[in-house]
Amino acid sequence: MKTENALFLQKPDVLDRQRALLKELFARYLPGTTCRFAGKPEEIPSGEAFDLVITPQLDWLPEALARIPRPEHIHLTSAGRDRLDAMGLDLNGITITTSTGVNATAIAEYVIGGILSHTKQFHRYRDLQMRQEWQRTWLTELTGARLGIVGLGNIGTRVVQRALPFDMVIRGCDAAGQDIPGVEKRYDVGELPDLAAWCDILVLCVPLTPNTRGLINTDILARMRPGSLIINVSRGQVVDESALINALRDGIPAGAVLDVFDEEPLPSNHPFWSMPQVILTPHVAGTTQRYMENMFAMINQNGLQREPYRKKRRLS
């Protein structure tokens, strides 16, 4: 169905920066659509009907939706919808789509960057440079390294594609059971401990669901190999942070690259800040200059999997 009236919601400061680009993208990808922008609920005309609402998972989204008749379609600018699930909204009959895959390439590139930073110690040498210290050490080659990927969806598949040229051996854990070229073995979810025990690098790229919350716990971490690395580009709650802190202090895994956390921004007194074996970034793995253009192209091409609202999702 053609979209005639759309509502775009965003935080006010972000909306101010994006407004000109958004107008151009609406004209290019959804021509003929009348769009209204709102940075807070009171900017939405009460009672006005919209075919499509495009929005992040904003704290004030329930208040915004309460001001308008039920839209036919809500599109989330995020890849996941875990916060939407927790809002308690009546979404029956509304098409809910997400931006799953729109930034998969950017996140996969981040994963490769994290692997290289850890094995080539770029972050450590940067610190030494700032102190004008000359310390040579032996570095690690990736040829033959064992890469385990938890979640072989859009992101996991792209990680596989980018890891293959480094001659890594790749295995994955996924509930869907599809074969992915380059993945020599796939583990069921219940076999995750076996994957953790096998790999040198464990990458987490699953959505946050009741089944994945706390997925990486003390038992899984205890199975990891000496010298191993864990990378989390999924959601902070997929990992038991206390268990990870204790495991890192004990030396297994030897390092972590973390882009997501239980609490964001990360509190100033959090142990991760002062752990030299941790590379942390402020939830930026999925950022890309192409994000909005990719999202609008996806909507225009109906490349999203449209389905009735439901709370349960598979592992990846």
pTM: predicted TM-score of the whole model, two decimal places: 0.88
| Residue with the two structure tokens 């005309």 | 45
How many Å apart are CA 101 and CA 291, to the nearest integer?
Answer: 10
The catalytic position among 225, 270, 283, 314 is: 283
How many Å apart are CA 188 and CA 174, to the nearest integer?
Answer: 6
pLDDT at 211: 94
Question: Contact, 107 vs 233, CB < 8 A?
Answer: yes
pLDDT at 308: 40
User: What count of other Cβ atoms lies within 10 Å of the Cβ of residue 100?
Assistant: 20
Active site residue 133: no
Q: What CATH number was assigned to the domain covering residues 104-280?
A: 3.40.50.720
Bridge partners, residue 229, by sequence = 201, 255
Element (H, E) at 84: helix 82-85
pLDDT at 309: 39
Q: Over the chain (316 residues), what is each successive 10-residue block's mean pLDDT? A: 85 96 96 96 96 96 97 92 90 92 96 98 97 97 98 96 98 89 96 98 94 97 98 97 98 98 97 98 96 93 46 40
The catalytic position among 264, 290, 306, 310 is: 264
pLDDT at 305: 41
Alpha helices in 121-226 (DSSP H): 122-130, 154-163, 192-198, 218-222
| Non-local CB neighbours of 132 within 8 Å, separated by 6+ positions | none
Question: Contact, 112 vs 159, CB < 8 A?
Answer: yes
List the one residue out of 164, 140, 5 whose CA is nearest residue 71.
Answer: 5
Element (H, E) at 5: strand 5-9
User: What count of other Cβ atoms lies within 10 Å of the Cβ of residue 124?
Assistant: 16
pLDDT at 41: 97
The residues spanned by each domain of the chain are: 5-102+288-308, 104-280
Helix, strand or coil for residue 105? Answer: helix
How many Å apart are CA 228 and CA 224, to the nearest integer?
Answer: 7
pLDDT at 204: 98
pLDDT at 177: 75
How many Å apart are CA 138 and CA 140, to the nearest integer?
Answer: 7
Active site residue 264: yes
The catalytic position among 75, 186, 223, 235 is: 235
How many Å apart are CA 314 and CA 207, to the nearest integer?
Answer: 9
List the one residue out of 246, 194, 245 whose CA is nearest residue 224.
Answer: 194
Q: What is the tens place of the pLDDT at every residue in 230-283? A: 999 999 999 999 999 999 999 999 999 999 999 999 999 999 999 999 999 999
In CATH, what is the architecture of 5-102+288-308?
A: 3-Layer(aba) Sandwich (3.40)
User: Given this chain, do its domains 5-102+288-308 and 104-280 carry the same CATH topology?
Assistant: yes
How many Å apart are CA 84 and CA 94, to the nearest integer?
Answer: 13
List the one residue out of 251, 224, 66 whose CA is nearest residue 150.
Answer: 224
Residue type, 43: E
